[in-house]
Amino acid sequence: MALLHLSYVSTLAEGQSLGELVRDLESFRDRNLSLGITGCIAFEGRRIMQVLEGPFESVETLFETIARDPRHCDVIQIERKTIDRVSFGHWGMVRRPIADVLFLSQLS
């Protein structure tokens, strides 16, 4: 079954704290796993980078939701490609430094 690998960057909106986002990561991770979505997320200052992998429709729907989420602004899709297997499957939705995510994403 072909899967979708999608990565994006965004900026945390004014008035949003990184602490609040980090606090909510566990519930986001649980919801994503229930949809078959894995990946990783990175933070650097107010910048966010995330890789999402999973079933096409689930990943596309999640990305559309993120793009409309008022906690994010300047959402830019970096990469979108079909994959045969996930690269971050055993990670859930782990936090990593942005440089690590960029490097690991290039290996997939």
| Six-digit token string for 99 | 């440089």
Low-confidence stretches of the chain (pLDDT < 70) are 90-108
pTM of the model: 0.81
What burial class does residue 17 get, using C-beta atoms within 10 Å of its C-beta: 0-12 exposed, 13-18 middle, 19+ buried?
exposed
Let me know if domain 3-107 sits in CATH 3.50.30.30.
no
pLDDT value, residue 101: 60
Are the beta carbons of 87 and 53 closer than 8 angstroms? yes
pLDDT value, residue 99: 62
